[in-house]
Amino acid sequence: MSQGARIRDAAATLGMAYRLRWKRRRLLLRSFRKRRQLSAVADRTGQIRPGAILGLSTVRNEAIRLPYWLEHHRALGVDHFLIVDNASDDGTRDYLADQPDVSLWHTAHSYRLSRFGVDWLTWLQMRHAHGHWCLTADADELLIYPHHDTRPLPALTEWLDRRSVPSFGALMLDMYPKGPLSAAPYAAGQDPCEVLTWFDAGNYMIQKQERLQNLWIQGGPRARMFFAAEPRRAPTMGKVPLVKWDRRYAYVSSAHSALPRRLNHVYDETGGELASGVLLHTKFLHMVTERSAEEKARGEHFANSALYHSYYDRLTEDPDLWCPGSTRYRGWRHLEALGLMSRGAWL
């Protein structure tokens, strides 16, 4: 490479770093302004002790999922939950307010205009999570990772701390039943994977996004069933859900990418493997058919909701996502063998 080319590359790198630094500052300022949209329902943040692992989520009408979601992540080692309830009317708010390890805020403002809840959670992280490991997950996402059944999150985060690794990546894996979605009823408190026993093992496309240096992963049953004609419009499946938080950090797009962009370096470009996990995505429980009609009408879940009208319409038709290539879920060791998660040096 000529000296002139090296100078141009260095200038471009510096320019990108400058623009991303200002983008992060704008996101933090935006979240600071959105703080007025939150009203405390049960503020127990005084219970948060140094070193506590925090769980964060924005929820709406998730009373049926939350008992197991909380149980699962408590068992992993989450000490305290910071949750925003976005105008639930199914008992979610009262249920969460009664949980002794939950601090709860309420808002009726737009989920979409809060960057899908990220602005609200960023403010709570700025205020309460500095220096803490934070797990950010939706109510339909269950984090697992190699040895999660015998090595809880404090063991994983201590291992990451010793290596000065500030973040941990995960693939969001769509789980589904065999047969129509409504034919596999789910009860509150039940493990969703007793109902959603299948997943797609190998139809994933991965590319590196140069701007944020995150992995853009697409595939699974949603790409196969609902976006076959335009697979690049399918939802992205890569996330960075576990981060050693600093009040200067900000998620850019849900937990799919973050700034500073070193937080997105949850992969090895040299051919090796870094430790990673999976977010078991339990969206396709029986109530998804009814809720899809509601979410289409609300238009709150995608930046360009019109592009997803046919997606919601297909879900209201109670589809069968199973196909001959579907794989039955058999636990984390099976997912690791398939290459969907990795223990890396985490032995």
Give percent above pLDDT 90 in the chain: 79
In this structure, of 7-11, 90-94, 121-125, 240-244, the range with the lowest mean pLDDT score is 7-11
Q: Looking at the domain assignment, is residue 346 inside a domain? A: no
The answer to whether residues 56 and 136 touch, using CB atoms and an 8 Å cutoff, is yes
The answer to whether residues 63 and 91 touch, using CB atoms and an 8 Å cutoff, is yes
What's the pLDDT at 314?
86
pLDDT: which is higher, 203 or 192: 192
Across 11-39, average pLDDT: 90
Beta-strand relationship, 80-86 and 54-59? parallel
Q: Looking at the domain assignment, is residue 177 inside a domain? A: yes
Beta-strand relationship, 54-59 and 133-136? parallel
Q: Which domain holds residue 255?
A: 3-337
Given phi > 0 = left and psi -120 to 50 = alpha, else beta, which region is 220? left
pLDDT bin (cut points 50, 70, 90) of residue 153 is very high
Place of tokens 């849900």: 254
Q: Looking at the domain assignment, is residue 313 inside a domain? A: yes
pLDDT: which is higher, 304 or 83: 83
Q: Looking at the domain assignment, is residue 72 inside a domain? A: yes
Q: Looking at the domain assignment, is residue 174 inside a domain? A: yes
Residue 236 in 3-state DSSP? strand
Q: What burial class does residue 145 get, using C-beta atoms within 10 Å of its C-beta: 0-12 exposed, 13-18 middle, 19+ buried?
A: buried
| pLDDT above 70 for 10 | no
In this structure, of 10-19, 173-182, 232-241, the range with the lowest mean pLDDT score is 10-19
What's the pLDDT at 269?
83
What's the pLDDT at 289?
84
CB atoms within 10 A of CB 62: 23
What's the pLDDT at 228?
87
pLDDT: which is higher, 115 or 297: 115
Cα–Cα distance measured from residue 287 to residue 318, given in angstroms and rounded to the nearest whole number: 10
- Phi, psi for residue 327 in degrees, rounded to 5: -120, 135
Across 228-248, average pLDDT: 93
**Closest alpha carbon to 137 in 159, 117, 112, 115:** 117
Across 325-337, average pLDDT: 97
pLDDT in tens, 289-302: 877 677 766 655 55
pLDDT bin (cut points 50, 70, 90) of residue 120 is very high
Print burial letters for 1-14: b (CB count within 10 Å at least 16), e (below 16): eeeeeeeeeeeeee
Q: Please count the structural domains in the chain.
A: 1
What's the pLDDT at 215?
93
Q: Looking at the domain assignment, is residue 343 inside a domain? A: no
What's the pLDDT at 7?
62
Q: Model-level pTM? A: 0.94
| pLDDT above 70 for 9 | no
pLDDT in tens, 173-194: 999 999 999 988 999 999 999 9
DSSP string for residues in 27-66 = HHHHHHHHGGG-EEEE--GGGPPTT--EEEEEESS-TTTH
Give percent above pLDDT 70 in the chain: 91
Q: Which two tokens stand for residue 199?
A: 């997943």
The answer to whether residues 175 and 65 touch, using CB atoms and an 8 Å cutoff, is no
| pLDDT above 70 for 8 | no
Cα–Cα distance measured from residue 347 to residue 344, given in angstroms and rounded to the nearest whole number: 8
What's the pLDDT at 297?
66
Across 230-239, average pLDDT: 90
User: Is it true that the peptide bond before 260 is cis, omega within 30 degrees of 0?
Assistant: yes
pLDDT in tens, 73-95: 999 999 999 999 999 999 999 99
Q: Looking at the domain assignment, is residue 344 inside a domain? A: no
| pLDDT above 60 for 254 | yes
What's the pLDDT at 17?
83
Q: What's the full length of the chain, in residues?
A: 347
Average pLDDT, rounded, for the chain: 92
Q: Looking at the domain assignment, is residue 347 inside a domain? A: no
Residue 219 in 3-state DSSP? strand
pLDDT: which is higher, 293 or 26: 26
